[in-house]
Amino acid sequence: MSIRVLIVDDSATMRAILMSRLSEQHDIEVVGTASDAAEGRALIKRLDPDVVTLDIEMPGMNGLDFLEKIMTLRPTPVIIVSGATQEGNDVTARALGLGAVGCYSKYDPTGKLALQDGGELAELIRDAAQVKFHKPGKTAPVVAEESRRSIRRDTRLIAIGASTGGVEALQVLLREFPADCPPTMIVQHVNPRFAPAIARTLDQAGPAQVQVAEPDMPLLPGHVYLAATADHHLTVRGGATLTTRLRRGPAVSGHVPSVDALFASVAKEVGPGAVGILLTGMGQDGARGLLAMSEAGAHTIAQDEQTCTVFGMPRAAISLGAARVVAPIGRIARHAFNKAA
Burial group, residue 113, by CB count within 10 angstroms (0-12, 13-18, 19+): exposed
Taking alpha carbons only, the member of 308, 260, 311 closest to residue 287 is 260
Q: Are residues 124 and 200 in the same domain?
A: no
Residue 305 counted as domain residue: yes
Nearest-angstrom CA–CA distance, 252 and 229: 14
Q: What does the alpha-carbon distance between residue 10 and residue 106 come to, in Å, rounded to a whole number?
A: 14
Same-domain status, 159 and 55: no
The pLDDT tens digits of the residues spanning 111-168 come to 666 666 668 899 999 999 999 876 544 443 334 444 444 445 589 999 999 999 999 9
Q: What is the CATH number of the domain that holds 191?
A: 3.40.50.180
pLDDT of residue 63 exceeding 70, the answer is yes
Q: Same domain for 78 and 192?
A: no
Number of separate domains in the chain? 2
Listed residues 99, 128, 157: the one ending a domain: 128
Residue 154 lies inside a defined structural domain of this protein? yes
| 135 falls within a domain | no
Tell me how far apart the alpha carbons of residues 51 and 71 are, in angstroms, rounded to a whole number. 13
Same domain, yes or no: 115 and 46: yes
Same-domain status, 69 and 207:
no
Q: Average pLDDT of the chain? A: 89
Q: Is residue 101 part of a domain?
A: yes
Residues 145 and 96 in one domain: no
User: 339 falls in which pLDDT band (50, 70, 90)?
Assistant: low
Which of 94, 128, 162 corresponds to the end of one domain?
128
Q: Burial letters for 180-195: b for 16+ Cβ neighbours within 10 Å, e otherwise?
A: ebbbbbbbbbbbbbbb
Please state the φ and ψ torsions of residue 140, each to the nearest 5 degrees. Answer: -70, 140
Residues 156 and 247 in one domain: yes
Local structure of residue 113 (DSSP, 8 states): B
Tens digit of each residue's pLDDT (9 = 90 or more) over 218-229: 999 999 999 998
Domain-terminating residue out of 105, 128, 151: 128
136 located within any domain: no
Q: Is 42 left (phi over 0), alpha (psi -120 to 50) or beta?
A: alpha
pTM of the predicted model, to two decimals? 0.87
133, part of any domain? no
Alpha helices in the chain (DSSP H): 12-23, 37-47, 63-73, 86-98, 119-128, 141-149, 166-174, 195-203, 259-269, 287-295, 312-319, 332-337
> Who has greater pLDDT, 301 or 103?
301
- Report pLDDT for 219: 98
**63: domain range?**
3-128
Same domain, 111 and 179: no
Residues 73 and 167 in one domain: no
Q: Same domain, yes or no, for 102 and 195?
A: no
Residue-wise pLDDT for 246-272, tens only, equals: 999 999 999 999 999 999 999 999 999
Q: Which residues are catalytic?
A: 163, 189, 285
Angle at 14 between CA 8 and CA 15, to 5 degrees: 45
- 108, 149: one domain: no
In a domain, residue 24? The reply is yes
Burial state string for 253-263 with b = 16 or more CB within 10 A and e = fewer than 16: bebbbbbbbbb
Alpha helix stretches (DSSP H) within 175-325:
195-203, 259-269, 287-295, 312-319
Question: For residue 135, what pLDDT is reported?
Answer: 53
Domain identity same for 193 and 242: yes
Q: Residue 134: inside a domain, yes or no?
A: no
Dihedral of the CA atoms 7, 12, 13, 14 (nearest 10)?
-30
CATH of the domain at 24: 3.40.50.2300
